[in-house]
Structure 1
Amino acid sequence: MMIGTHSLLPVCGCLLADRISMAAGRPRMFSGWNLVAIGTFGFLPDILSPHLSLESRQSSWSHTVWAAIAIAFLVPLTRYTCKKGSRIPVAIACWIAYALHLAADAISGGIAWLYPWRDDVVGRYYIPSEDWIWYDAGFILLVWAIYRVFPRFAKKQAV
């Protein structure tokens, strides 16, 4: 998948959760900078170990379960970008964003989850690479729609 999908997939989920909680009368969980942090964690595996081919992605240390476990110990650092009440949800969302990146790569060519101990590739091309640009465009439109349409819906529900 491309970087737009990796960063906007978790942001879409967070925006939806935020809008639903606002509709229920609760305060926002994710502010602008929180969404930036979550989006950054979404494309972090590609930044930590850049790759241009499927083979290099499958031998990348950042696309393994070991890296996901290591990231779980780093997400508490996101507390510096958060208000006190939203630190735990943002940290969880950042880790989920990293895990969603691995899941998206698994369905778009596969990854070697246990590399370097095992070279078994999990996943395959369920989404062909020719279609990746359409997923980026779709997530851009989805973020725009959630950002524009749901605030009006949340205001009507809260009244």
Structure 2
Amino acid sequence: MDAAARLLAIGLAGAMPDLVSPHLSLAARMTSWSNGLPFWGGLTVLPVIVSMIKPRLLPLKLAALLSTAYLLHMACDTISGGINWLYPVGSFMWGDYYVDPVWWIPLDVVCVLTVYVMFRLMPLRAKVREGRERRTVV
């Protein structure tokens, strides 16, 4: 899997809580099964199992990054109104409007631009590393 495909997979994993269970209101988010630790835990097990069976298809490091991206989305929802971390098996509401809804779209743009810059810098870093390795071999 090349770098672009890995970044796309990580991005989709980060958006997944909203993709698998869309919600347009805070009340809907509080009862969204995709925004709880139980679903995240179950979802994390699947890529880890795949990475153990087929490590070339899905390296363990990528599986961990997919899980982290999903969890970071939940953390962002926590500071943007809160979530019910234990839904649907329990209730543990946590979070508040630390980030005003007016800033959600601009922050999304910043996140997308950051990933774009990272996508552009990763090949550059690989070339620099390759150049250093060539110099140390000679």
Identify the residue that residue 90 of structure 1 maps to in structure 2: 62
Give the one of 97, 110, 120 matched to 1:138.
110
State how far apart, in whole Å, the 1-side matches of 2:13 and 2:119 are: 20
Match status 1:54 vs 2:26: yes
Q: Which 5+ residue runs of structure 1 have no aligned equivalent? A: 1-28
TM-score, normalisation: structure 2: 0.78
State how far apart, in whole Å, the 1-side matches of 2:45 and 2:122 are: 33
State how far apart, in whole Å, the 1-side matches of 2:62 and 2:4 are: 12
**Structure 1 pair 91–30 and aligned structure 2 pair: CA distance change class (3 A):** farther
**Structure 1 pair 45–153 and aligned structure 2 pair: CA distance change class (3 A):** closer
Q: Which 5+ residue runs of structure 2 have no aligned equivalent? A: 133-138
Identify the residue that residue 44 of structure 2 maps to in structure 1: 72
Q: Please, what is the CA RMSD of the aligned residues?
A: 2.5
Deviating beyond 4 angstroms after TM superposition, the runs of 4 or more aligned structure 1 residues are none
State how far apart, in whole Å, the 2-side matches of 1:78 and 1:46 are: 23
Structure possessing the higher radius of gyration over alpha carbons: 2
Task: Map Cα deviations across residues 6-37 of structure 1 (whole Å, 9 max, x no partner).
Answer: xxxxxxxxxxxxxxxxxxxxxxx962222222
**Structure 1 pair 73–144 and aligned structure 2 pair: CA distance change class (3 A):** closer
How many residue pairs match? The answer is 129
Q: Give the C-alpha shift of residue 109 in structure 1.
A: 0.6
State how far apart, in whole Å, the 1-side matches of 2:104 and 2:61 are: 29
Relative contact order higher in (CA < 8 Å, ≥ 6 apart): 1
Mapped contact 2:7–2:119 kept (Cα < 8 A) = no
Mapped contact 1:106–1:123 kept (Cα < 8 A) = yes
TM-score, normalisation: structure 1: 0.69
State how far apart, in whole Å, the 2-side matches of 1:93 and 1:57 are: 23
Mapped contact 2:4–2:119 kept (Cα < 8 A) = no
Identify the residue that residue 14 of structure 2 maps to in structure 1: 42
